[in-house]
Structure 1
Amino acid sequence: MNKKKIIKLSKKDFEKAWVESGKLLKKPHHDQQYPRLRLSTGKSHLLYDTIGEIRQAYLRLGFSEMINPVFIEEDHIYQQFGPEAPAVLDRCFYLAGLPRPDIGLGIDKIEKIENLGVEVNEDRLKDLQKVFRGYKKGELCGDDLVHDVSASLEAEDHIGLRVLEHVFPEIQQLKPVAGRTTLRSHMTSGWFISLQNIHNRSKLPLKLFSIDRCFRREQKEDSSHLMTYHSASCVVVDDEISLDMGKAVSESLLEYFGFKKFKYIPDEKKSKYYIPGTQTEVYGYHPLLKEWVEIATFGLYSPLALARYGIEEEVMNLGVGAERMAMVLHQEKDIREMVYPQLYRKWELSDRDLATMLFINYYPATQDGKNLMNLILKVWDQNASASSPCEFRVFSGEFLGKNIQVIAREEEENTRLLGPAARNQVYIYQGNIVGIPPEGQLDNPFIKKAVEKGISTRISYMESLAAQAAYHIEEMVVGNREEIKVKSTIARSLSDINLLLDEVALNYITGNNKQIDIRGPIFSTIEAHLER
């Protein structure tokens, strides 16, 4: 796909560019036409792992799960916070929508429609006016507007889109208008609404929890603040509740995660929906972390706020930040990196990850080919240091239904059957791919550390080159070629030793200034020919 061409066309005529992009869809290989997913274990997100554990902890403590309202009318904030509401609303997101304008259909617009090549008559204009009236009244979804305009004019969808774009600019110029509905900034606002409807229809004590997103209009996102987070909140409703209930629930909840010691500190924020003096921060001491960590906040709801919702019972509320808990348990320092690693975390691949992305490229497909590969390895291994010129018979006999002869040869004088790098093995260390002789070069500090601490792929140059030779001999026999010579000289790149590196690994290595160093003299030659 020519991306620049497509983008240029989309700016001129989006609908046409969109239609043209459909032609780029390729017919898949037959084996992929009806793909089936193989059962395997994927990788979960540590935040949702933590949420799942908090959920199980609440359930084991006898709490029932609820989903609280996400859309909160502004009036509820005033009922819960009183005069403090304006300050609280400053951190709330207000929902906005696009107003639906009155769309006139004057003579000038009719002429513009005709100039776009659309034939206009009285029936089509009536249908178009009907579409716009339905859109204004909310009877027509905005998603359907282009299609319905096109249908009313008996034109293709791309024509309807051009009509809206070029004839009715009032639609393109719409600006969002905010209402009085906010996104839930704290779970408490949802609890009041839920309890208003169920407090007198349930047997006491009532124990409920909810784990869901909240949205807060932070001035900026940083290492400890996001504009959306998960609140793991619970309430206990009864005729009488003491503050000790908050201590009991928080201790039981945190013990589930390995915390052993607890302390409680009055919260200086003093939210107005709590009874004065009851808002309390919970600190837990984790034996593995060996430090005190703020984990939760609890308090008793104010009777002033409860009365506005007709709730006569007493309510203890406890809130745990799921992200905060995940950061503590997994020793994360930056909430952005933890929640959005694909955006904020430095890309890292372990040496083991890289090892899984390095493959022998050409490899024999048949059992005869694999047996031949082992014979080549055996001859090379036994005679690698033989003085040249020299040759050794590898195989003579039937191979894939035909008679062949395979020879390992070195014609140049005063050298060896194989070059000194033929026995090198491939290691991965600190993101670098290096070829190292089996005896090592332990006087080189980097090579020494690669052997001791790196990942051995257990791939030798000799093995990968033997696989390549056997593969090409299979091709020779199947293709009925008379003879073939597979020769390697000096290794400079992975392809020279028949290795293939996944593009993801290559991008990582080059992007992080790592090295691929597999240089070395190989000088191996395998010859094969058919025997008639």
Structure 2
Amino acid sequence: MKRKDIIKLARKDFEKAWAETGKLLKKPHHDMEYPRLRFKIGKPHILYDTIWRLRDAYLKLGFDEVVNPVFIDEEHIYKQFGPEAPAILDRCFYLAGLPRPDIGLGLEKINEIRKLDVKIDDKKIDNLKEVFRSYKKGILAGDDLVMEVSSALDVSDETGLRVLERVFPEIKDLKPIPTKNTLRSHMTSGWFITLEYLHDKCKLPLKLFSIDRCFRREQREDSSHLMTYYSASCVIADEEVALDVGKAVSESLLEHFGFSKFKFLPDEKKSKYYIPGTQTEVYGYHPKLREWVEIATFGLYSPIALSKYGVDKDVMNLGLGVERLAMILAGENDIREMVYPQIYKEWELSDRELASMLRINLYPVTEDGRRLMEKIIDVWRKHGNEPSPCSFTVYDGEFLGKNVNVEAVEVEENTRLLGPAANNRIFIYDGNILGVPEEEKLDTKLIKEARKKGIDTGIAYMDALAAEAAYKIEEMVVTGSDAVKVRSAIARSLSDLNLRLDKVGMRYITSKNKVIDLRGPTFSTIKARIK
């Protein structure tokens, strides 16, 4: 069944379509089966690289790592912000959940179940009622409901799902009901809860840090705002904490990333959980950027907010947006492109990446075959310009247990053993795949630039053609054939040169209106026979 048919079937009968997808699973090629699969080192994301470096910096500064609560009841926002809380809650995501409905099992629904060709008796009815009671009470998890309904009716999961869909629409029609729980919109809301439990249980000074996600209900996401971001935040709690501690931590933390000079300016936002006059913006000068950039904010927590959590210590808090720092370090100017490059960033493949996707298609498998390939190349290089008709012995002797004769020939008159393009080399330049001739006088403008600035793949036309010839001579011996002739004439495409480009590379070149220009006369012939 084709994938498009699976999608169509899913609209009618999801469970049946889901079962059909199991038939799409293919047995992997022998070389790709575990444990033969070889993994290469992966490419990290700049955001998580920055998080790792921040963790390293905090730990080296003597801070202990904690995980702050993510789910914050709105009462905490009121305790921290006071009268300002409603405005802050406007930026918070409230959580909602689906209610557990009372599911009745009257005579009408029992008859509907029978219409689905389900044999039902009093015992099965009692079993089904017990399943729905357990579901209502929260004893039974929602993702187990289909399995338990199927078990109660003694039917397949496919039939059980059909019963739920068609007989009990009250489950499908459930509407979420909001709670007073919010997703953490700023790390401070979690710090107060953590400090409530730790401030009098640890030796002072208490130095903690946490790097984790926050969620903010922005009106829209743009080049500088996302609805979820990482905050790299810390607190220092002690009997007395001076504001200058925030400056010292800022400098020590950011020196880890190459910032050399700092300045501190009063923050005009004046959040109510800070003591008035202590909220401070941190600017750092980065030598590579040659400019001052805002990096972090720190301040001393307000005694009013702290007292509501029973904390009688001074607390300095510093917060740093990880995405902001990562953008500065990477030279990015759009936060969406940096965090979600697969969605927002224009698709780009480097010439080196394209080069890694191009390979010789048919290639000799055996050691004998690879040696023969090299002999073919040697003969072509030595005699390629010999006038025709001509013939040169490539190899005469034992090959894979057979006595084989291999000749490089050209029977036509007034030409040469090889066509002039056989010596061309393949370059990748600006997303184009180009055949570059040996003679510079044949260069076009694009070829000239490719020769100077492009990536040389190391593949000459004759390399790929010799590989094909050696492969087919191997094939001749293995299949028991008596002779084989491998001929190339005019190269127009990758396949004419025994080359293969990964589908991703081909899709990229097509989408970017780039070119694959490998045109040229190769005119090569290899004959082989078993003597």
Task: Tell me the equivalent position of 1:88.
Answer: 88
- Whole-Å Cα distance in 1 between the matches of residues 167 and 475 of structure 2? 64
Q: For the Cα contact (< 8 Å) 1:258–1:286, is it kept in 2?
A: yes
Task: Tell me the equivalent position of 1:493.
Answer: 493
Q: Does 1:504 align with 2:500?
A: no
Task: Tell me the equivalent position of 2:454.
Answer: 454
Task: Decide which moves more: 58-67 or 398-407.
Answer: 398-407
SS at match of 1:421: helix
Superposed displacement of residue 93, structure 1 = 0.6
Superposed displacement of residue 13, structure 1 = 1.1
- Whole-Å Cα distance in 2 between the matches of residues 32 and 45 of structure 1? 27
1:32-51 alignment to 2 at 5 Å? 32-35=32-35, 38=38, 40-51=40-51
Task: Tell me the equivalent position of 1:66.
Answer: 66
Task: Tell me the equivalent position of 1:379.
Answer: 379
1:475-486 alignment to 2 at 5 Å? 475-486=475-486
Task: Tell me the equivalent position of 1:231.
Answer: 231
Q: For the Cα contact (< 8 Å) 1:299–1:316, is it kept in 2?
A: yes
Task: Tell me the equivalent position of 1:205.
Answer: 205
Q: Closer, same or farther in 2 for the Cα pair 1:332/1:140, shift >3 Å?
A: same
Q: Does 1:430 align with 2:441?
A: no
SS at match of 2:140: coil
How many pairs does the alignment contain? 531
Write out per-residue CA displacement over residues 396-449 of structure 1, whole angstroms, 9 at most, x where no aligned residue. Answer: 222222222222111222211111111111111001000011223475322111
- Paired amino acid for 2:89: L
- Whole-Å Cα distance in 2 between the matches of residues 70 and 419 of structure 1? 70
Task: Tell me the equivalent position of 2:363.
Answer: 363
Write out per-residue CA displacement over residues 209-257 of structure 1, whole angstroms, 9 at most, x where no aligned residue. Answer: 1111101111111111111111000011111112111111111111111
- Whole-Å Cα distance in 2 between the matches of residues 354 and 229 of structure 1? 33
Superposed displacement of residue 393, structure 1 = 2.1
SS at match of 1:148: helix
Q: For the Cα contact (< 8 Å) 1:297–1:318, is it kept in 2?
A: yes
Write out per-residue CA displacement over residues 365-393 of structure 1, whole angstroms, 9 at most, x where no aligned residue. Answer: 22222222222222222222222222222
- Structure 1 length normalisation: TM-score? 0.97
Q: Percent identity?
A: 67
Task: Tell me the equivalent position of 1:171.
Answer: 171
Write out per-residue CA displacement over residues 87-125 of structure 1, whole angstroms, 9 at most, x where no aligned residue. Answer: 100110111100111111111111101111111211111
- Paired amino acid for 2:418: L
Q: For the Cα contact (< 8 Å) 2:31–2:37, is it kept in 1?
A: no
Q: Closer, same or farther in 2 for the Cα pair 1:39/1:114, shift >3 Å?
A: closer
Q: Does 1:275 align with 2:275?
A: yes
Task: Tell me the equivalent position of 2:440.
Answer: 440
Task: Tell me the equivalent position of 2:530.
Answer: 530
Q: Which runs of 5+ in 2 are unaligned?
A: none
- Whole-Å Cα distance in 2 between the matches of residues 469 and 28 of structure 1? 28
Superposed displacement of residue 31, structure 1 = 5.3
- Whole-Å Cα distance in 2 between the matches of residues 287 and 450 of structure 1? 35
Q: Does 1:394 align with 2:394?
A: yes
1:281-320 alignment to 2 at 5 Å? 281-320=281-320
Superposed displacement of residue 39, structure 1 = 5.9
Task: Tell me the equivalent position of 2:515.
Answer: 515
- Whole-Å Cα distance in 1 between the matches of residues 264 and 257 of structure 2? 18
Task: Tell me the equivalent position of 1:75.
Answer: 75
Q: For the Cα contact (< 8 Å) 1:440–1:451, is it kept in 2?
A: no
- Whole-Å Cα distance in 2 between the matches of residues 289 and 425 of structure 1? 40
Q: For the Cα contact (< 8 Å) 2:437–2:443, is it kept in 1?
A: no
Superposed displacement of residue 131, structure 1 = 1.0
- Whole-Å Cα distance in 1 between the matches of residues 343 and 424 of structure 2? 39
Q: Does 1:354 align with 2:354?
A: yes
Q: For the Cα contact (< 8 Å) 1:442–1:448, is it kept in 2?
A: no
- Paired amino acid for 1:487: R
- Whole-Å Cα distance in 2 between the matches of residues 37 and 486 of structure 1? 33
The Cα RMSD (Å) is 1.4
Runs of 4+ in structure 1 deviating by more than 3 angstroms, as ranges, are 27-34, 36-40
